[in-house]
Chain A
Amino acid sequence: MNAIIAYVHVLSSVLFLAIMIASFLWIARNNRLRHKELLAHTLKISLIADGILFPLIILIVVTGAFMTKVAHIPPGTPWVNVAYCLFFLVSIIWFTLVLLKIKNLHREIFSSLRLFYGLNILAIMLFFFIIHDALTQQTWFA
């Protein structure tokens, strides 16, 4: 049972990061063609992928909490707290990105492109720190 939970946790985490990167690159590349129909299709597919990300967020938190309990990791452990905070930040960024995509759904060119790039890069960096903390069971932030 524990092995299955760990499997689901790792698989959903990697899938979460992969969908974030894929959506980012997909929108960034297609936006260059400056075609209204293409951008609308791109954003629509990306929003469908975001529909997969929402249950993944819940799954990652639930399986993560279960794994810390099974491994007898005390609740106040610095790296666990930092990982929760960073993941909360990533989720907020993801939600902001969804709003940005909805805002641009019927436009020819993606507006607030710098914000979109910045938030995506920040989310990927934060995820890198979460992976670092989870693998080393240490954190740079506490």
Chain B
Amino acid sequence: MNLFYWINIFHVMSASILLSALIITIFYFTLSTHAAFYTETKKQIKFVAHHLMMPALLFQLISGIALTLLKKYDFGSVWITCSFIAFSVLLFCALTNFLWVKKRSAQRLLILIECFMLAIIFYLMINRP
């Protein structure tokens, strides 16, 4: 089986891991209302960000570029440009969320934007408009 399929499989798997990291963060937000677990929640969200989300984002970027090169897609095409822009926004939101933002409402908004960006990337990948 050729390299293209393997990269494609791991691209989809890492997208799932990225989404699961987002879901875990949402789960932890439900826990942060319990005062007893607030510190633990912050610790765990940091753990998820460092060990799940960031590696998945990095892998998505590398495998995405590799797939574009292997399939010889045009880097200037609308769907690739738009998906890279959406991915950049996603990366920016993820970094901002975990490194600088302290307010919970802002964190929730950033997670919502991240989910929306993921949905846009999926749409662009499947339909290639």
Residues of A within 8 A of B (CB): 3, 6-7, 10-11, 14-15, 17-22, 25-26, 29, 33, 37-38, 41-42, 45-46, 49, 128, 131-132, 135-136, 138
In the complex, A85→B15 CA distance in Å? Answer: 24
Closest to A140 in B: B1
Q: Interface 1/0s, chain B 30-52, versus A by CB < 8 A?
A: 11001011001000100110001
Q: Which residues of B contact A29 (CB under 8 A)?
A: 44, 47
Q: Interface 1/0s, chain B 46-66, versus A by CB < 8 A?
A: 011000100000000000000
Contacts A135-B8, A135-B9 given; does A15 touch B19 at CB 8 Å: yes
Q: Which residues of B contact A128 (CB under 8 A)?
A: 9, 13
Range class of the B interface residue count: 20 to 34
Q: Which residues of A contact B27 (CB under 8 A)?
A: 22, 26, 42, 45-46, 49
- Partner of A33 from B1, B8, B40 at Cβ < 8 Å: B40
Contacts A128-B13, A131-B9, A132-B9 given; does A11 touch B20 at CB 8 Å: no
**Mostly helix, strand, loop or mixed at chain A's interface?**
helix
Residues of B within 8 A of A (CB): 1, 5, 8-9, 12-13, 15-24, 27, 30-31, 34, 36-37, 40, 44, 47-48, 52, 119, 122-123, 125-127
Quick check: B123 and A18 within 8 Å, CB to CB? Answer: no
Quick check: B20 and A135 within 8 Å, CB to CB? Answer: no
CB distance from A56 to the nearest CB of B (A): 13
CB distance from B50 to the nearest CB of A (A): 14
Quick check: A136 and B1 within 8 Å, CB to CB? Answer: yes
